[in-house]
Homo-oligomer: A and B are copies of this chain.
Amino acid sequence: MKVSLVTLSALLPSAFALWPLPTGLSLGTTPLKLSKGFDIKIGIPNPPADLVAAVSRAKGFLANDKLQALVVDRGASSASAIAGAKSLPSLTLSLATTAKGSSLKSISAEAIAPIESRVEGYTLTVPADGSGAVLKANSSLGLLHGLTTFGQLWYDLPGPSSRTTYSLSAPIQITDAPAYPYRGFMLDTARNFFPVSDIKRTIDAMSWVKINTLHWHVVDSQSFPLVVPGYTVLSEKGAYSASKVYSPSDVKDIVTYAAARGIDVIPEIDTPGHTSVISKAFPEHIACPEATPWASFANEPPAGQLRLASEATVNFTAGLLKAAAGLFESKFFSTGGDEINANCYTQDNETQASLASSNKTFLQALDTFTQANHAALRSVGKSAVVWEEMVLDNPVTLANDTIVMVWISSADVAAVAETGFRIVHAASDYFYLDCGHGGWVGDFPTGNSWCDPFKTWQHAYVFDPVANLTAAQAERVLGGQSLLWTEQSGPENLDSTTWPRAASTAELFWSGPGGDVQAALPRLHEQVYRFRQRGVAANALQPEWCALRPGACDLTA
């Protein structure tokens, strides 16, 4: 019962800021304001503490957003209609019938439950007659998402008069649930480091657009900021500095913070490539460490890969992954597997000797290595996530519950799907937020971004998650994510590079494909302005003149 975006757009008398668009939505045209004593009530016995906290945050946003409608007069001409409008006294959270009698789990518990089992839907009713609004769901996640939606319904009037928080679209009836269970954002904290505060702010922003997964590419060849119990020498010798680390308590802080906002944090320790930095602490486990010319040994400097054919290295890696996995609550852990450089191993006498003594091919050794790592993770309750090479270029034995991420190209999706594994869309040609900023190597003045051009929000928005897939293959698509690799990013441009583009992808995988950019743009502007009100420096999409005049800057306007 999805409302056509074009129809919806025509319905809206002025600005309207829901993002992602609910999958079922009915709007009125009656003004409604929040009562001065407006409150959010939890009509559920013994509510989980993180739900109580979510309600508190929602009330904070209502009090502090102070977002004015994105129309030329910022809503001033509606003032008299609003002055005479009914007041909404309250929003009451309650469990849907099917959940009554059962004990409501916490948001944090539900956020990390098996992905296909998560219940994220909700219904939200905002009457126009002055009676209370009701948010119902079968889950804490659903209630959380409904609270987020409720917070997007309101504007403040401009001017010096006492604050009036209003909607022009009552009564509102929303029945919402995501099209895909995986809606993610990947952050690389190894090429450049991001303080915990940046990650938590990003988690906040993710939650505002119902992104439910932070894929944390925490370490890579350049630095090892993760403090892993039993392996602390890795960060001691491999972090950029003693202060540029994520301690176990930092990780717990991030994981807890995310979970309370409905977000699963899936860590990645990429193997066997992208591991050069391990050589600082364990030189015996790394082939071709910082070998030059780096371009002969790796896709970017510095070169260095785990000696995957060495039994000692297999044991080391499995132990490291298991220890690292213990820091996280997620049921998933990514072991990477991308961009393995053959020459690095060919030139490494140790690896060649290991292969010879074990009478294994490279691929057989990779299979042994991967199985050992995944078995170690499985022993602590984790399913594996891998990059696409692990099923295409270097197909290894993987458990059926493995998730495969497509990154090289969207053209690879069908081939990956055909392997039978679950898929996450993460293709560079649609979802890489870092593309289009030129080549970053030091002596290449004509160098362009390898994944040029810049991926606009529009480009990602019109991606079709099931293009060229059979029905059976399409069933394996869990969702998708934006990704920020940080060779050319740091705290300085994190917000403006990520937002609002990651929100575009969030709507694609929540509301489902088929939206059109013309209808979406005014709502996306609203996100930008609301994000800024909440302290996230989302980037301008257009001149403010356009933001205040929905449609006026369309190509065909």
Residues of A that sit less than 8 Å from B by CB:
74, 190-193, 221-223, 240-241, 292-295, 300-302, 436-449, 452-456, 458-459, 461-462, 486-493, 495-496, 516-518, 521, 532, 537-546, 548, 551-557
B453 lies within 8 A of A453 (CB): yes
A458 lies within 8 A of B447 (CB): yes
Question: B residues within 8 A CB of A543?
Answer: 190-192, 222-223, 486-487
- List 29 interface pairs A-B (beta carbons < 8 Å), by A numbering: A74-B241, A191-B544, A222-B544, A293-B556, A293-B557, A294-B553, A301-B553, A302-B552, A436-B453, A438-B456, A440-B542, A441-B555, A442-B517, A442-B553, A443-B554, A444-B517, A448-B453, A449-B453, A486-B543, A487-B542, A488-B539, A488-B540, A489-B539, A489-B540, A492-B539, A493-B493, A493-B539, A493-B540, A496-B496
Other A-B pairs, 11, CB within 8 Å; known A294-B553, A488-B541, A493-B496: A240-B544, A436-B438, A438-B455, A440-B541, A441-B555, A442-B517, A445-B462, A448-B453, A489-B539, A489-B540, A492-B495
For A439, give the chain B residue with the smallest CB separation. B456
Known A-B contacts A240-B544, A488-B541; A556 and B443 likewise in contact (beta carbons under 8 Å): yes
For A222, give the chain B residue with the smallest CB separation. B545
Find A492's partner among B191, B241, B294, B540 (CB 8 Å cutoff).
B540
Cα A492 to Cα B535 with chains together (Å) = 10
Which 9 residue pairs of A and B lie closest in terms of their CB atoms, listed nearest first? A438-B456, A222-B545, A443-B518, A442-B554, A492-B537, A191-B543, A493-B496, A445-B458, A490-B540
Find A442's partner among B222, B292, B555 (CB 8 Å cutoff).
B555
Known A-B contacts A544-B192, A545-B222; A443 and B539 likewise in contact (beta carbons under 8 Å): no
B492 lies within 8 A of A496 (CB): yes
CB distance from A353 to the nearest CB of B (A): 29
A461 lies within 8 A of B443 (CB): no
Cα A452 to Cα B452 with chains together (Å) = 10
A438 lies within 8 A of B452 (CB): no
For A456, give the chain B residue with the smallest CB separation. B438
Find A447's partner among B452, B456, B493, B516 (CB 8 Å cutoff).
B456
CB distance from A334 to the nearest CB of B (A): 20
For A457, give the chain B residue with the smallest CB separation. B438
B440 lies within 8 A of A437 (CB): no
For A501, give the chain B residue with the smallest CB separation. B438
Question: B residues within 8 A CB of A240?
Answer: 544-545, 548
Question: B residues within 8 A CB of A546?
Answer: 222, 301, 440, 442
